[in-house]
C-alpha cells in the first residue's frame, strides 16, 4: 500500500494512516481521560511518521487542540499535517452550529491560538448550519486560504447536496463523514461524487467506535456513550460481533489483525485517501500503522464487502 497520499486537490501529502484525537483531551466525549497519555498518543504518532492529525474545537471543548498544539511544538511544524474543525457555538448552555463567514474566520483565529501555530493545514466546517449558503461559508475559507492561515478546505457531516453547493467553485478538498463497514450509505452517492471531483473522503468512526477493532465479545461492557448505543446492545451486538469474527481468517492470512484489514479495506474505496482512527493508547497508534503492510486481493475485498452488505 502507498505510504503517502495527496489530500484532494491540495498539495498536502499525508501518511494514509492518520490519528483522530477526540480521545486526547476530549473530556466531554470520554470520561476519565488522562491528558499525559493523550499527549503521548500524539507524540508516538508523529515519531512513527503518522503525520496527519485530526482535532476539533469541540473536543474538550478546546482542550484537544491545546494538547495537540503542545505536542506539535516538540516537532518541526512542517512534519505535521494538522486538521481541525469549527462550527459549534455556545449560547449559554445551548450549542448551535454557525457557518457564517464571520464566525468561521473567528473560529480559525481562535484555533490558531490554541494550537500555537500560524497556519492550519486543513480546516473543516464541522457541521452544516441551517442558514448559511454553503458556497458562502466555503468562500470565507477560501479567503483564509489566500491569506495563508489555512492550506486547504474541508467540510464535515454535509449531505451530498450540501457538498455540491459547498463545492460550487471547486474549492473543497476534503469531506469528513461517518463511514464504516456497518454504515455504508456514503457508497451510494457521496463516494462517486467525491471521486469524480477530486475530493478526499475521510471516514470517521472507522472502527465503529472500537467494534471493528475485533477485540470485543458478548461479555464486554462499556462505561461511556457506548453503554447506550444500539450497536453495542443485545442481539444487534451479537450479530455485529459475528460479522467481525468473519474477518479473522482474512486477517490471519495477511499476517495482521482485524483492525488492519478493516482500515486497508477503506483505503481501497474510491476517494478514501486517508483514515483517522482514534486511539487512547500509544500501543494502538503503532499497531494501526501495520495497515500499510496489507495488500488485500480483489477476492478478499469482495469477501469483506459481502460479509457487511
Ligand atoms: N467529524 C466529525 O463529526 C467526527 C465525529 C466523530 C469522530 N471524528 C473523528 O474521527 C476520529 C475517529 O473516531 P473515534 O475515535 O470516535 O472512533 P473509531 O476510530 O471508530 O474508534 C476508536 C477506538 O477504537 C479502538 N482502537 C483504535 N485502534 C485500535 C487498535 N489498533 N486495536 C484495538 N482497538 C483500537 C479504541 O477503543 P478503546 O481503546 O476504547 O477500546 C479507540 O478509542 C476521532 O478521533 C475524531 O478525530 C469526527
Phi, psi of 96 (to 5 degrees): -120, 165
> How big is the chain by its Cα radius of gyration, in Å?
19
Domains and CATH numbers, the chain: 5-210+269-297 (3.20.20.100)
- If one residue of 213, 275, 288 were mutated to test the ligand 1 pocket, choosing by the most ligand atoms within 8 A of its CB, it would be 213
> Rounded CA gap, 294 and 278, in Å?
20
CB-ligand 1 contact for 280 (6 Å cutoff): yes
**DSSP assignment letter at 283:** H
Question: Cα of 143 to ligand 1 centre, how many Å?
Answer: 32
pLDDT > 90: percent of the chain: 93
pLDDT-derived band at 209, boundaries 50, 70, 90: confident
For the cut 90, the answer to whether the pLDDT of residue 149 exceeds it is yes
Is the distance from the beta carbon of residue 277 to the nearest atom of ligand 1 less than 6 Å? Answer: yes
Return the exposure string of 294-305: e unless at least 16 CB atoms fall within 10 Å of the residue's CB, then b: bebeeebeebbe
pTM for the full model? 0.96
Give yes or no for residue 224 having a pLDDT over 90.
no
**Residue 4: pLDDT band with limits 50, 70, 90:** confident
- Tell me what the mean pLDDT of segment 103-121 comes to: 98
Centre of ligand 1 to C-alpha 117, Å, is: 25
Alpha carbon separation from 67 to 37, 43, 233 (Å, rounded):
11, 10, 33
Strand (E) or helix (H) holding 274: none
| d(CA 50, ligand 1 centre) in Å | 15
> Is 114 within 8 Å of 66 (Cβ atoms)?
yes
pLDDT band at 225 (very low <50, low <70, confident <90, very high): confident
Q: What's the pLDDT at 24?
A: 98
Residue 1 has pLDDT above 80, yes or no: no
Name which residue leads in pLDDT, 244 or 229: 244
Of 55 and 234, more confident = 55
- CA–CA separation, 72 and 74 (whole Å): 5
Is 54 touching ligand 1 by the criterion CB < 6 Å? yes
In which element (H, E) is residue 96 found?
strand 94-97
Cell numbers representing residue 114 in the block = 490554541
* Statement: residue 31 has pLDDT above 90: no
Annotated catalytic residues are 59
pLDDT for res 230: 87
- Pick the residue whose CA is nearest to atom 44 on ligand 1: 20
**DSSP H or E stretch at residue 227:** none
Amino acid at each position: 500500500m502507498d505510504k503517502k497520499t495527496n489530500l484532494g486537490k491540495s498539495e498536502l501529502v499525508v501518511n494514509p494512516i492518520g490519528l483522530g484525537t477526540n480521545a486526547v483531551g476530549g473530556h466531554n466525549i470520554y470520561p476519565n481521560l488522562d491528558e499525559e497519555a493523550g499527549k503521548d498518543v500524539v507524540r508516538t504518532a508523529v515519531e512513527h511518521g503518522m503525520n496527519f492529525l485530526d482535532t476539533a474545537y469541540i473536543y474538550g471543548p478546546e482542550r484537544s487542540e491545546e494538547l495537540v498544539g503542545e505536542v506539535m511544538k516538540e516537532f518541526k511544524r512542517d512534519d505535521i499535517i494538522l486538521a481541525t474543525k469549527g462550527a459549534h457555538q455556545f449560547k449559554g448552555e445551548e450549542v448551535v452550529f454557525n457557518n457564517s463567514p464571520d464566525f468561521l474566520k473567528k473560529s480559525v483565529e481562535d484555533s490558531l491560538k490554541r494550537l500555537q501555530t500560524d497556519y492550519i493545514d486543513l480546516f473543516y466546517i464541522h457541521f452544516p448550519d441551517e442558514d448559511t449558503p454553503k458556497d458562502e461559508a466555503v468562500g470565507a475559507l477560501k479567503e483564509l486560504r489566500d491569506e495563508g492561515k489555512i492550506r486547504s478546505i474541508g467540510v464535515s457531516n454535509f449531505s451530498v447536496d450540501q457538498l455540491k453547493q459547498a463545492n460550487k467553485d471547486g474549492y473543497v478538498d476534503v469531506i469528513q463523514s461517518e463511514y464504516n463497514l456497518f454504515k455504508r450509505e456514503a457508497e451510494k452517492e457521496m463516494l462517486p461524487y467525491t471521486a469524480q471531483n477530486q475530493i478526499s473522503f475521510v471516514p470517521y468512526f472507522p472502527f465503529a467506535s472500537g467494534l471493528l477493532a475485533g477485540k470485543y465479545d458478548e461479555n464486554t461492557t462499556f462505561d461511556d456513550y457506548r453503554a447506550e448505543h444500539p450497536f453495542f446492545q443485545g442481539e444487534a451486538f451479537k450479530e455485529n460481533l459475528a460479522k467481525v469474527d468473519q474477518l479473522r481468517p482474512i486477517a490471519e492470512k495477511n499476517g495482521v489483525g482485524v483492525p488492519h484489514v478493516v482500515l486497508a479495506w477503506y483505503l481501497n474505496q474510491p476517494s478514501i485517501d486517508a483514515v483517522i482512527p482514534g486511539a487512547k493508547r500509544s500501543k494502538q497508534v503503532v499497531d494501526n500503522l501495520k495497515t500499510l503492510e496489507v495488500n488485500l486481493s480483489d477476492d478478499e475485498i469482495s469477501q469483506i464487502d459481502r460479509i457487511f452488505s
